Amino acid sequence: MSNIRNFSIIAHIDHGKSTLADRILEMTGVIHSKNNEQVLDSMELEKERGITIKATTIRIPFKASDGREYIFNLIDTPGHVDFNYEVSRSLYACEAALLLVDVSQGVEAQTVANAYLAVDANLEIIPVLNKIDLPHAMVDDTKMQIEDMLGILTDNALKVSAKDGTGVPELLEALPDLIPPPSTNTDKPLKALIFDSHYDTYRGTICHIRIFDGSLKQGDKIQVKSTGKQYEVEEVGYFGIRMEKSNNLEAGEVGYLCAVIRDVKDIHVGDTIISADHPNTDAIPGFKKMKPMVFCGIYPINTNDYDKLLKSINKLELNDSSITFEKESSAALGHGFRIGFLGMLHMEIFLERIRREFDQELIATMPSVAYKVIRTDGEELNIENPSKFPTVQEIDHIKEPIVRTKIIVPSDYVGSCMELANSKRGKLVDMEYPDDRRTTLIYDLPLAEMIIDFYDKLKTVSRGYASLDYDFKGFEKGDLVKVDILVNSDQVDALSYISERESAVTKARKLVHRLLKLIPRQQFKIPLQGAINGKIIAREDISPVRKDVLAKCYGGDVTRKKKLLEKQKKGKKRMKMIGSVEVPQEAFLSLLQVQGDDNKKK
């Protein structure tokens, strides 16, 4: 029997996955210092935000008290709904999942969603009750919820405090028996799943793989099942704290693989790697490709950087396989790309990674969902970019994406959550009572409303207690119009957006007012207008700069002058010339704030 155990940790956000991973690493001697927090959140962005974005694999040697030695491959996963794809992929590399539940909170929306992902992947689910050190720990209630809401038995549920380490040694001792060992068909031809990948500046494309059959070593000839392309293996190894080279990888193991893969586009997460000598080996049933929900345009600030931007996207796509992208051009912004994301947090993180990891300045346009436009001639168009909408005369009706939303909230906050959902055009579908303290609200909500700031608002109105999960439901007819924005009488395609008809005028007025504050003044007057089908519905003018203001800036004190110039240079970095007007990056995202403000007043 194999001594390998592959498992991942899944949970609702903040229930303690990364903290438990830290304790496990410490107690098994993989890391030494206690000051090392959230070791697996190694990305700069993860540390800054205190959230896990990427699933991370680590190999842990463990010696049980009976003297037996095991190898654990642990995959820590993100908890936010936007990164569910990271979770579902990682699960395919494992035999079991530790389902961590914070006993001060109980089962929450993402606990349920993640548990179902594990069920779908046929994993053994091991319930673990965390944070038992807290004074208001509700161990028995939480157990009951796990049984009632998830149908998972909790008689032998492990109880731990990931923070102070209580119960973690017992957990480690129990894992070898709780997690089924992988099957080890070393004699069969190679079959390995690419469950993740990343780009390394020195080594190029690196595949994260789980070997199901056969084995792999340097010099082996492999083939990517879907493309038929063949490569020679340059290096294989494990994921320690760093990547550690090894002689070979065998069935049941998790590790990495480097080969000379010239074109990063040749590798797809979810693909199967087989031996070039056995080209007829079956593919491993891949996981479902995710459908992006939110789209935005990205454009290089400097037009010459187009190719560099394309290369950066290709490389980042290796490590974030859930995006989609295609070329797009805008009259205002030039050549760029339309990128599809799983949600707003995903989009924010992706753009920030392009900026940081590839040192690429860019302009991102207002995010939009995909619409279905049914033309008067009956043809149905799928449109991801508002500026590509047909004219009003050509449109019969518009359908927008709807998400079925599940909100679990303590009963005291049900009223304020319902008020919020109603203000976001939500339709109440059902109410359930998972236990005597809490209510589950099921709503159908337009995705366009969900993506803006629904999650943040929900947290605010419920003092942080509500949890949320959503699934795409389908497209439904909406009363929607396209609003165009004109800067200095030029229509700026990248600023067009789709609005529900009722609030279109108010929103346009607020947006134009915001732009007035964002766009720097020039020596001439700049009119800013909002229009529906050519009819102006909002207008503000940016007044010209007076000469003496300029004089003040450029005269006198040298250090002050330098500082101002520095400031200007920085500001310029994310500006784009539209006609003769400079428009800053913030302008393209200002609709987000407008809609955000909208709710604050309510």
The site for Mg ion (CB under 5 A) is made up of: 17-18, 52
**Partner from Mg ion, ligand GDP, none contacting 564, C-beta within 5 to 8 A by type:** none
In this structure, which amino acid lies at residue 212? F
- Residue 52 or 590 with smaller CB distance to ligand GDP: 52
Distance of closest approach, residue 20 Cβ to ligand GDP, in angstroms: 7
How many angstroms separate the CA atoms of 254 and 549, rounded? 64
Subset of residues 471 to 510 that bind ligand GDP, contact rule: CB under 6 A: none
Distance of closest approach, residue 42 Cβ to Mg ion, in angstroms: 12
* Alpha helices (runs of H) in 338-388, residue ranges in sequence order: 344-357
Among 14, 196, 449, 493, binds ligand GDP (CB under 6 A): 14
How many angstroms separate the CA atoms of 102 and 111, rounded? 10
3-state per-residue secondary structure call for 381-394: EEECCHHHCCCHHH
Q: Are 159 and 169 in contact (CB under 8 A)?
A: no
- Residue 30 or 532 with smaller CB distance to ligand GDP: 30
Record the tokens describing residue 61, joined without a space. 């040697």
How many angstroms separate the CA atoms of 139 and 102, rounded? 9
- Residue 11 or 383 with smaller CB distance to ligand GDP: 11
Give the H/E segment covering residue 567.
helix 558-573
Angle value at C-alpha 344, between 338 and 346, nearest 5 degrees: 80
Distance of closest approach, residue 137 Cβ to ligand GDP, in angstroms: 9
How many angstroms separate the CA atoms of 313 and 340, rounded? 12
Distance of closest approach, residue 165 Cβ to ligand GDP, in angstroms: 9
- Residue 52 or 73 with smaller CB distance to Mg ion: 52
Residue with CB nearest ligand GDP?
A: 16
Distance of closest approach, residue 101 Cβ to Mg ion, in angstroms: 15
Site membership for ligand GDP, residue 26 (CB under 6 A): no
Subset of residues 92 to 131 that bind ligand GDP, contact rule: CB under 6 A: 130-131
Q: Are 298 and 245 in contact (CB under 8 A)?
A: no
- Residue 11 or 364 with smaller CB distance to ligand GDP: 11
**Partner from Mg ion, ligand GDP, none contacting 134, C-beta within 5 to 8 A by type:** ligand GDP
- Residue 24 or 526 with smaller CB distance to Mg ion: 24
In whole angstroms, how far apart are CA 512 and each of 31, 240, 337, 576? 54, 53, 26, 18
User: Is beta strand 56-63 parallel, antiparallel or unpaired with respect to 69-76?
Assistant: antiparallel
**Partner from Mg ion, ligand GDP, none contacting 509, C-beta within 5 to 8 A by type:** none
Classify burial at 465, counting beta carbons within 10 Å of its beta carbon; exposed 0-12, middle 13-18, buried 19 or more: middle
Among 162, 345, 581, 583, binds ligand GDP (CB under 6 A): 162
Distance of closest approach, residue 18 Cβ to Mg ion, in angstroms: 3
Distance of closest approach, residue 292 Cβ to ligand GDP, in angstroms: 24
Among 4, 5, 10, 11, binds ligand GDP (CB under 6 A): 11
How many angstroms separate the CA atoms of 290 and 16, rounded? 26
Site membership for ligand GDP, residue 446 (CB under 6 A): no
- Residue 17 or 482 with smaller CB distance to Mg ion: 17
Subset of residues 36 to 75 that bind ligand GDP, contact rule: CB under 6 A: 52
Distance of closest approach, residue 165 Cβ to Mg ion, in angstroms: 17
How many angstroms separate the CA atoms of 418 and 509, rounded? 28
- Residue 18 or 385 with smaller CB distance to ligand GDP: 18
Distance of closest approach, residue 134 Cβ to ligand GDP, in angstroms: 5
How many angstroms separate the CA atoms of 43 and 54, rounded? 8
Among 5, 6, 10, 19, binds ligand GDP (CB under 6 A): 19
How many angstroms separate the CA atoms of 242 and 263, rounded? 25
- Residue 11 or 575 with smaller CB distance to Mg ion: 11
Q: Are 100 and 16 in contact (CB under 8 A)?
A: yes
Q: Are 483 and 590 in contact (CB under 8 A)?
A: no
How many angstroms separate the CA atoms of 88 and 99, rounded? 14
Distance of closest approach, residue 589 Cβ to Mg ion, in angstroms: 27
Q: Which stretch binds ligand GDP (CB under 6 A): 66-74, 161-169, 306-314, 579-587?
A: 161-169
**C-alpha atoms less than 13 angstroms from C-alpha of 42 in its C-beta half-sphere:** 10
- Residue 18 or 368 with smaller CB distance to ligand GDP: 18
| Residues 6 or more apart whose Cβ sits within 8 Å of residue 331 | 493
**Partner from Mg ion, ligand GDP, none contacting 11, C-beta within 5 to 8 A by type:** ligand GDP
Distance of closest approach, residue 9 Cβ to ligand GDP, in angstroms: 8
Among 39, 79, 223, 493, binds ligand GDP (CB under 6 A): 79
In whole angstroms, how far apart are CA 211 and each of 206, 250, 287? 15, 6, 16
In whole angstroms, how far apart are CA 377 and each of 105, 280, 380, 478? 53, 48, 9, 19
Q: Which stretch binds ligand GDP (CB under 6 A): 6-14, 118-126, 218-226, 552-560?
A: 6-14
How many angstroms separate the CA atoms of 101 and 11, rounded? 6
CB neighbours of residue 2 within 10 Å: 17
Distance of closest approach, residue 125 Cβ to ligand GDP, in angstroms: 16
- Residue 168 or 485 with smaller CB distance to ligand GDP: 168
- Residue 11 or 468 with smaller CB distance to ligand GDP: 11
Distance of closest approach, residue 176 Cβ to ligand GDP, in angstroms: 23
Among 295, 591, 600, 599, smallest CA distance to 447 is for 295
DSSP character at residue 185: B
Site membership for ligand GDP, residue 134 (CB under 6 A): yes
| Residues 6 or more apart whose Cβ sits within 8 Å of residue 493 | 330, 331, 332, 387
- Residue 53 or 363 with smaller CB distance to Mg ion: 53
Subset of residues 414 to 443 that bind ligand GDP, contact rule: CB under 6 A: none
- Residue 125 or 309 with smaller CB distance to ligand GDP: 125
Terminal C-alpha separation, the chain:
62
**Partner from Mg ion, ligand GDP, none contacting 133, C-beta within 5 to 8 A by type:** ligand GDP
Distance of closest approach, residue 4 Cβ to ligand GDP, in angstroms: 24
Subset of residues 163 to 222 that bind ligand GDP, contact rule: CB under 6 A: 163
Q: Are 6 and 182 in contact (CB under 8 A)?
A: yes
Interface residues toward ligand GDP, by CB under 6 A:
11, 13-19, 52, 79, 130-131, 133-134, 161-163
